[in-house]
Amino acid sequence: MAVILGLALGATGHAGPLRIALLSEAIVTSDAIMLSRLLPENSSQVLKMWAEKVSLGTSPNVGFERRLGRLVIAEAIRTAVSSGADFAIPEMVVVRRQGRAISREEICEILRHELATRGSPQSAEINVEDVELQSTWEIPGGAKGIRLKELVADPLLGRTRFRLRWVGSSSAPELYGWLRLKANDSKTISKTAGDATDELAVKPIVVANRLALLFLHSQNSETLMRVRVLQPGRLGDSIRVRIPANGHTLMARVVGQDRLDLSF
């Protein structure tokens, strides 16, 4: 096997195996991180086939990243069948799990279905233009695993806030948004979803001195990072947070349990 791979790699006249520099960043779409995702684009097909069988561990949740140290990758390569190649491994490799962005049309259908199962007469009246999203949301595949977890009316704004969750993972990021509905409709829908959800509107759901997940985004970029909460906040509040890496302080909006949002 090592001889065949060595020939496929094009090793001619070298005293030792060909040295291949692995990528320091990669994107995965499956549940496992395979070494093949770290290979350079011009790697041979034979090497890619071999690396496709070398697992570096489980992938992060969609929209999140996982950092792999050099020792972890080196150990996975060492325990695999020899490839006949030598690898230059970065000190740290960042792997991001990519999904597909769910559309407003899909969210509209989910809300209609969820409200219909709760017996709400307003389910058929929800249109795509009624749906307002606070951020983009990536999911692993189809929308069948998405459930409505919260629905709260805001009489002052005349809108209804909703929260969707991907049930395949308890740690997966959630989606928050608004429905532009009449006040009477909002009250009916909120009652249908259950009165217990109203507690989130008055109870702090991020706590000072704890870490929370911040979704930082603009028109051209977006990132997820852990920040230190400097003051407690309720749903919809703007609070101060600190970035541990550089000590910078930001104002971010509370959008869920230990979840924050900031547009710049």
Distance separating alpha carbons of residues 18 and 215, to the nearest angstrom: 41
How many Cα neighbours within 13 Å face the side chain of 181?
A: 29
By DSSP bridging, strand 19-21 and strand 86-88 are parallel
Is a pLDDT exceeding 70 seen at residue 221?
A: no
Q: Provide the mean pLDDT of the chain.
A: 77
200 confidence band (pLDDT: 50, 70, 90): very low
Domain boundaries of the chain, sorted by first residue = 2-97, 100-202, 211-263
3-state SS assignment for residue 237: coil
Q: Which of 41-55, 82-96, 190-204 has the lowest mean pLDDT?
A: 190-204
Span 56-70, pLDDT tens digits: 988 887 777 889 999
Contact 23, 93 (CB under 8 A): yes
Distance separating alpha carbons of residues 155 and 132, to the nearest angstrom: 17
Distance separating alpha carbons of residues 180 and 193, to the nearest angstrom: 17
How would DSSP label each residue in 174-196? -EEEEEE--HHHHHHHHHHH-GG
- Residue range 211-263 forms a domain whose CATH class is mainly beta
Span 111-137, pLDDT tens digits: 888 778 777 666 667 788 888 876 677
Distance separating alpha carbons of residues 169 and 173, to the nearest angstrom: 9
9 confidence band (pLDDT: 50, 70, 90): very low
Burial of 211 by CB count in 10 Å (0-12 exposed, 13-18 middle, 19+ buried)?
Answer: middle
Q: Which of 30-34, 57-61, 184-188 has the lowest mean pLDDT?
A: 184-188
Contact 31, 58 (CB under 8 A): yes
Q: Is the dihedral of CA 134, 139, 141, 145 positive or negative?
A: negative
CATH number of 2-97: 2.60.480
Choose among 36, 11, 12, 15: nearest CA to 26. Answer: 36
